[in-house]
Amino acid sequence: MAVKMIKIAISSIAFLLALSSVGSNTINFQSLSVHELAYTTHEIDTSHSTQLPRNFIYKKHQMTLELVHRDKMSTHGKKTYWHLFKEQLIRDSKRVAGLHRQLKNSSSRSFSYQLHDFGSAIVSGVEEGIGEYFVKIGIGSPPVDQYMVVDTGSDVTWVQCKPCTQCYNQADPIFDPAGSASFTRISCGSVACGLLDQAGKCGSGQCQYEVTYEDGSYTKGTLALENLKFGSTEVQNVAIGCGHHNLGLFAWASGLLGLGGGVMSLVGQLGSQTGGAFGYFLASPGSGSDGSLVFGRDAGIPTGAIWVPLLRNPLNHSFYYVGLVGLGVGGVRVVVPEEVFQLSEYGDGGAILDTGTAVTRLPVRAYETLREAFVNSTIGFPRADSVSLFDTCYDLSGFGTVGVPTISFFFSNGPELTLPAKNYLIPVDVHGTFCLAFAPSDSGLSIVGNIQQKGIQVSFDTVNGLAGFGPDTC
């Protein structure tokens, strides 16, 4: 073992010396622990129960719940890191293809009560199905705990309901509205029914909703007002879908929590009661830290964040567009015209933040420029074959800690976000193969995925039209 560790240390020194010969004095680098990331994920125990401890943690006027990472939420026993990673990439490709279709076909389309800042726990999702992250909330009176997909690209919040004409399997018992004293069906002529995309349909005097997702999954049912409970905070009269016809791979989740930018999303319905603010922190695998979802200005707006403007797509209000204008490698901005990232008046292009996409996608021109600059700054890395959608991979099996060039996003009005090294050079197997975690997109749409967002407190101030990236405050 001692001989092996000495070999790794010598290899790392040799790598850093190679970098110095290519002008590292003009390039910004940060450390990446190859050994820690590559060799602690040989086999992941996913056999834990889906029942989370009910331990509450109070911090700075916010409440969070204990979290379990996505890879520990499955009931399928032990799986290798590579097995789980391949499944994630398959989901990812479906998500991105669906987003492109949705935006291509886009067409355009509250409630009042006092609310304190509240929060709940984000749990990374399981191997198959829609959604990468989940949260447990209480639905109804008395509240019944249900795991819900968290999606910043969707507006309608819904849950599978009895009687269920067509339902998929879920972990929790299916919600029975007959057992809730606060469940109230919404009439066809109500304001809420008119706010649904393409307006809600009418059935027996009750408002009917229908949502179709990227992979063809769908939910249909009745729109209703219901109470939701986030930890110890109850939110009354939230318009949600009570799904009686549901089809798709939503893993074991009971439904979906819509956190998009539209008026029917949970964020839109809460409105001024939360100051139009919410935020989330996505934990990295193996980090041992918790992820969380918080609402309210005190909880969702951290100090020390950099703030970038939110843009509005005139044809689709669900997605959170940011003013991305450029990319940097090693502290140097690469040559990509700002027009490549621009959101047009017709709703084309632009850059969105998305919790449901894993790998950041960039227009081909931007990706190729980023890749070329990164490769030119890493000539000391031994190259490896391409893996899945990643075409820039390295064999770092002989290294312990390496220095990698920084990668940054540049936003309009000047802010720069430099990513942690483990957010863009990631292990793809247990043998020491690492790949650049970006991919090209034939579409003009840029998507900042959840791999690049991990370990960063992402906040939204919808009142002032800003998105923030700051240190973990969860």
In sequence order, what are the beta bridge partners of 121? 292
Name residues whose C-beta falls within 8 Å of residue 67's C-beta, 6 or more positions apart in sequence.
52, 121, 122, 123, 283, 290, 291, 292
Instruction: For residue 196, give the nearest of 234, 158, 166 by alpha carbon.
Output: 158
Q: Is 176 a catalytic residue?
A: no
CA 41 to chain centre: 22
- Distance CA(442)–CA(89), nearest Å, equals 17
Whether residue 467 contacts residue 459, with contact meaning beta carbons closer than 8 Å, is answered with: yes
**Whether 151 is catalytic:** yes
Catalytic entry in 92, 117, 151, 155: 151
Contact 321, 309 (CB under 8 A): no
Report whether 414 contacts 292 (CB < 8 A).
no
Catalytic residue among 71, 354, 429, 461: 354
Within its chain, how far is the Cα of 30 from the centroid? 24
129: CB partners within 8 A, 6+ apart: 91, 248, 249, 250, 251, 253
Map tokens 């890395």 to a residue.
381
Q: Name the residues annotated as catalytic.
A: 151, 354
